[in-house]
Amino acid sequence: MKKLDRLDWAEGLTLSAFGVRTGLRVNLPGVLPQVLPLLPPGWKKCRSVSVKRLYSLVVAQGRERAGMRRLHVLYADSMRVARGAALAQVLAAFETDLHRYTAEATSDMTLTCDCAPRPQFQWQNDTSPRDAAPRRNVLFR
């Protein structure tokens, strides 16, 4: 974490979603607007700098040179979550990890399984029935 803290951070945001405070910092200005649509529904900006998890997004800068790739890297606290040449891929990993972490860390949400009976169908020449729609997990208050 100390190595990450030494980097120059251009933008940052502290947010609260479902009672869980999370922070995000990026090393390049102008990236934060791309991240805002990925935040959990109902999130709110916080004044507090104390967070349960801090995401650090290191956006690759400069051009690639022969034998050297420029990669975007996402950290959750000091653990690397994603690394890739495409920023969209790293942002998708951020969205997934943030939503999962928020669901796990919140105390006022309940995880339930949608276990309603599903209509069955069969493939031609197949004797085993298959679910017509996948089951899904739902978070609610």
Joined together, the tokens standing for residue 79 give 């653990």
Q: What is the pLDDT of residues 3-31, one digit of tens each?
A: 887 788 899 999 999 889 999 999 999 99
Segments in the chain below pLDDT 50: 121-122
Q: How far is CA 24 from the centre of its chain?
A: 11
Closest CA to 48 of 26, 29, 28, 20: 20
Map out the domains of the chain as residue ranges: 2-108
- Of the chain, the percentage scoring pLDDT greater than 70 comes to 70
Q: Is the pTM here over 0.75, yes or no? A: no
pLDDT for residue 76: 93
pLDDT for residue 45: 93
